[in-house]
Amino acid sequence: MQALKKTNFKGPKGPLVLVIMDGVGIGQYEEGDAVQSALTPTLDWLKANAVATQLKAHGTAVGLPSDEDMGNSEVGHNAIGSGRVLSQGALLVNEAIASGAMFRGEVWKSQIANALQFRSTLHFLGLFSDGNVHSHMDHLKAMLRQAKAEGVKSARVHILLDGRDVSETSALEYVAPFEQFLAELNAGHSVDYRIASGGGRMNITMDRYNANWDMVKRGWDTHVRGIGPQFASAREAIEALRKATPGVIDQDLPPFIIAEKGQPIGKITDNDGVIFFNFRGDRSIEITRAFEDDTVTEFDRSPRPKVLFAGMMQYDGDLKLPKRFLVNPPAIANTMSEYLVKSGVTQLAISETQKFGHVTYFFNGNRSGKFDESLEDYIEIPSDILPFEQRPWMKAAEITDAVLKAIRDNTHRFIRLNFPNGDMVGHTGVYQATEIAVECVDLCLGRILAAVQKAGGILVVSADHGNADDMYEHDKKTGKPKVENGRIKVKTSHSLNPVPAYVYDPSGTARLKLGAHQGLGISSLAATCIKLLGFTPPEDYDPAIVEVLSAE
């Protein structure tokens, strides 16, 4: 890879700081917009004094199949870090299924051969919704149809309930039609395909960044060992668990087992096949390691069955997780970080555990590790393990303290950071806590702004997608919040809204103005940062937000 070409502008005296306010978008409804209702003097000041615009952060603007698909932190950071729009997980899986390529692949063929050879069960485990952020039920259905067509007699489905990328209590809206779908497959008793276990995605199985391995242990005990409360059906389980904990939303539901005569119907045992059908990587890695990695010591897996495990995609290319996967992940080369390293630019990436992988792994094109140890530093602030609504400030202050030190030291020309608050607290659906989360980010942003001014740096502020800006379900015709059982229906998923983008050069040396290109997406942040550092962006990058008019 060639280094970047320098321009007449030498870059700022101090560092360029890119702040990613995770989950902070520009809402279209006043009611339910925790960003608009929060006290945000720093963002208000930037809107009035910086070069300001808004960027697309969902759908085709970040490589998803359609503009009905909400953006997420993974594809968002891929787009920001790569500077281009590339086909992402959901779209790649759609294409592989539509073309039949997935079912012609060796990994799928090996799963079928294994089930036929041992007359064993093929298990499907993953997020059970059509949210299209981690998974999609259409992918699951397509695989079950194909398994039947190829002679697999026994299949079990382990459902991780969503309520985060879809409505918070929508589980039965997915379970009922899926049970009918299975009944149609089972007609004539030629196959035996059933739901075997389940639980909320934030309770079991789908932990990320090694934040809470107890979640993975609960998932293992549920899906593999068949340990947990027993019910006759998924519907019965969901209804009973909701009754036991009034107000609980789907993502937090406890684990459950489907059993007959006191025996689980779908424990994972020797010679079974397992397909984890999530396509997104962050919440897939730990459960993958539980099945594949002999060195896992975070919990006791015994008795550990010998199974043939496969993921929908490869979740970590450097760590080779999983060993077998159905669809190749997007190959993202020539990322901004890589170009800057080749150009000798020192970099710092920092966040707390919940989003640390986003400013490193995803930002670098789904690549673990650094491009150059001598030029890059990563700082991970350990996240608290407790419900985010109970501590909505999270680790924003600690992140800010580290960033302020880096700005003062001026040893990194480019600093990128992620404040997770707007997203992680927004996902809880607790409005007051989300307002506090946004206000905390704004307070910390004010501290960074002052430090950048003092150091003669440049500040770029944006987001990877919306969330806190759209906390209520709205009627699309009237724009009013939906009401269910006498209360406003809370929205816990990401929004389809654009995100803000502010570029502030306190010294005025760069002589910035808004670029001529309209309708840009967050992928344009890469070219923007590269220009502000005094280089010419690669030709295949999306246009920068600003023009640098300096004649230096």
The alpha helices in 129-212, defined as continuous H runs, are: 137-149, 171-186
Burial 375-392 (b: 16+ CB within 10 A, else e): bbbebbbebeeeebbebb
Is 73 catalytic? The answer is yes
Residues 6+ apart with CB under 8 A from 339: 1, 3, 4, 530, 535, 538
Residues 6+ apart with CB under 8 A from 259: 226, 230, 231, 232, 265
Of 50, 68, 46, residue with least CA distance to 59: 68
Of 404, 435, 403, 413, residue with least CA distance to 422: 435
Q: Per this entry, what is the length of the chain?
A: 552
Question: Is 500 exposed, middle or buried, given 0-12, 13-18 or 19+ CB atoms closer than 10 A?
Answer: buried
Distance in angstroms (rounded) separating the CA atoms of residues 250 and 216: 17
Per annotation, catalytic residue among 73, 167, 337, 351: 73
Residue 405 neighbours by CB distance under 10 Å: 12
Burial 90-102 (b: 16+ CB within 10 A, else e): bbbbbebbeeeeb
Q: What share of the chain is helix, strand, coil (3-state, %, to 5)?
A: 35, 20, 45
Of 83, 75, 25, 77, residue with least CA distance to 55: 25
Q: Can you say how many angstroms the Cα of residue 496 is from the centroid of all Cα atoms in its chain?
A: 15
Give the 3-state DSSP-derived string for 32-73, with helices as H, strands as E and coil as C: CCHHHHCCCHHHHHHHHHCEEEEEECCHHHHCCCCCCCCCCH
Tokens (6 digits) for 481: 């919040």
Tokens (6 digits) for 366: 């789904």
Distance in angstroms (rounded) separating the CA atoms of residues 359 and 77: 7
Tokens (6 digits) for 312: 């929908």
The owner of tokens 């809470």 is 212
Of 86, 67, 68, residue with least CA distance to 76: 86
8-state DSSP, 298: S
Give, to the nearest 10 degrees, the angle between helix 137-149 and helix 171-186.
10
Residues designated catalytic = 73
